[in-house]
Amino acid sequence: MSDQVKPRLLRALAGETLERPPVWFMRQAGRSLPEYRALREKAGDFLSFCYNPEMAAEATLQPMRRFPLDAAIVFADILLIPQALGQEVWFEAGEGPRLGALPPIEALTDQVEASTGRLASIGETLQRVRAELEPERALIGFAGAPWTVATYMIEGRGNKREEARLWAYKHPDQLDALLDVLVESTARYLVMQAKSGAQVLKLFESWSESLAEDVFERIVIGPHTRIIEKVRAAGVDVPFIGLPRGAGAQVANYAARVPVQAVGLDTQATFKLGQEIQAGGKAIQGALDNLLLLAGTPALEARIDALIEAWNQGPYIFNLGHGVMPSTPVEHLERAIRRVTGK
């Protein structure tokens, strides 16, 4: 693949320092776009939307048609894995996800092999998107990381996560067994995504805050590493981005230990931290505050300029520290992307 065709994102993930960073946004496909809201009204319940390849591909491509972004990320959800493993999952309007009682770990284990087939529609979505997406724009597949997914499975909803942490301390053997199930099912799911056209794979550890060092090692660093090793053992060599959101002082250790090609940084990341990770041989991604993007004040351009000045001296991917807020005006997204790309 020539550099003229090789997607800018893949070049950054290969360690190149580019004249401008590639840009894409977490949750770039979503409620901030009027065309998404119109599509969502036709889709029925949210999970049916995710499992409909035609609609999910359309949602994935909508921001690519509107903005000069360098990558698309498949429209799906991190809670498809628990459902594929047999746990009840549904979405309450205006309140978010709900999950039924955590099944016995043995029952979940029995469903690992079948779970990938139940997610085959996500592979079809990726195939549809790849067929339409220009060759210079990358396609990202993803999964929720095991600890983050486990918090939902344990608590039954996205809450404060203290309940999941308490459960983890009280039931260490069950936690290890649950994480093993999620490592195996997630690795299989990501292999399927890569074989369906994903050129980059991302692990979203959305809830890695407030973890003691030994706990972080056990439930974040260990599972992420094992997933990547399993994916590599299956013959898949696409680059990985890992996002240990909220990990703070643990991020440097994550970057040194987990075999990702890029580390996603959240809003609190210092310029020094990003530069140190780059000096260690990895790309970084982030870390514009999604609330600053929502506010859209003149500080938006100033912060974008500062991030690029600090981090585009090495391999860097411009993104947010978390996902686009649903109420973000399209004009603010246009301004931010224009500031990065000049388009």
Q: Please say if 338 is a catalytic residue.
A: no
What pLDDT sits at residue 158?
75
Q: Please say if 77 is a catalytic residue.
A: yes
Look at the pTM and tell me if it is higher than 0.95.
yes
Q: Please say if 161 is a catalytic residue.
A: no
Does residue 1 register a pLDDT over 60? Answer: no
Does residue 2 register a pLDDT over 60? Answer: no
What pLDDT sits at residue 92?
85
Tokens representing 329? 């005006």
CB distance 322 to 290 below 8 Å: yes
Q: What is the mean pLDDT of residues 194-209?
A: 96
- CA–CA separation, 213 vs 254, rounded Å? 11
Q: Which residue has the tokens 């990895």?
A: 282
What pLDDT sits at residue 93?
77
- CA–CA separation, 315 vs 19, rounded Å? 10
Q: What is the mean pLDDT of residues 191-219?
A: 96
**Range from 19-28, 90-99, 206-215, 235-244 carrying the lowest mean pLDDT:** 90-99
Instruction: Tell me the domain boundaries of the chain.
Output: 8-341
Nearest to 99 by CA among 83, 113, 122, 115: 83
Does residue 44 register a pLDDT over 90? Answer: no
What pLDDT sits at residue 137?
98
* Percent of the chain residues topping a pLDDT of 70: 98
What pLDDT sits at residue 157?
85
> Quick one: pLDDT band at residue 333, thresholds 50, 70, 90?
very high
Strand order in the sheet with 138-144: 71-73, 138-144, 200-205, 240-244, 262-264, 283-288, 316-320
Tens digit of pLDDT for each residue in 113-170? 999 999 999 999 999 999 999 999 999 999 999 999 999 999 998 767 889 999 999 9
Mean pLDDT, all residues of the chain: 96
Tokens representing 93? 């309007």
Residue of 11, 36, 77, 128 marked catalytic: 77
Does residue 3 register a pLDDT over 90? Answer: no
The reply to whether CATH 3.20.20.210 applies to domain 8-341 is yes
Q: What is the mean pLDDT of residues 196-201?
A: 98
Q: Please say if 31 is a catalytic residue.
A: yes
CB distance 72 to 63 below 8 Å: yes
Q: What is the mean pLDDT of residues 231-239?
A: 98
Residue of 20, 40, 232, 335 marked catalytic: 40
Q: Please say if 37 is a catalytic residue.
A: no
Residue of 8, 70, 128, 152 marked catalytic: 152
Does residue 71 register a pLDDT over 80? Answer: yes
What pLDDT sits at residue 96?
85
